[in-house]
Amino acid sequence: MSDPTDPGDRRLDGNAAAGVLTEVMTMDPASAMATCAHCGGRAALGGHLVYADAPALVLRCPSCLQVVLRCASDEGGRRLEMTGVLLLTSPPDR
């Protein structure tokens, strides 16, 4: 019988998160709201400042101008670095 207080009984491998991660990663990026890890400001990603003249796209916070994320898709694959995003949210699908 499983013991609900044993953290080992609640642990699953990463495949158990695949469905939710797929939903999260396919959210509409323009309307998704990002909370800046630097200043706590909250804005739609579509309202961030984009610098496209670097090896990756760089998005900066419209409030504090710090880098919130970098992303690239090229022959090397897809990369996403979001250390400047404290929280990314989107409304539920209708």
What is the C-alpha to C-alpha distance for residues 77 and 16, in angstroms, rounded to an integer?
A: 24
What is the C-alpha to C-alpha distance for residues 79 and 62, in angstroms, rounded to an integer?
A: 22
What is the C-alpha to C-alpha distance for residues 85 and 81, in angstroms, rounded to an integer?
A: 9
Task: Name the residue nearer to Zn ion (CB basis): 29 or 62.
Answer: 62
Q: Which stretch binds Zn ion (CB under 5 A): 8-16, 29-37, 51-59, 71-79?
A: 29-37
Q: Does 62 bind Zn ion (CB under 5 A)?
A: no
Q: Which amino acid is at 82?
A: M
- What angle (nearest 5°) sits at the alpha carbon of residue 70, between those of residues 64 and 73? 155
Considering only residues 37-56, where is the footprint of Zn ion by CB under 5 A?
A: 38-39, 41
CB of 73 to Zn ion, least distance (A): 25
CB of 40 to Zn ion, least distance (A): 7
Task: Name the residue nearer to Zn ion (CB basis): 63 or 90.
Answer: 63
Q: Which two tokens stand for residue 74?
A: 């090229």
CB of 39 to Zn ion, least distance (A): 3
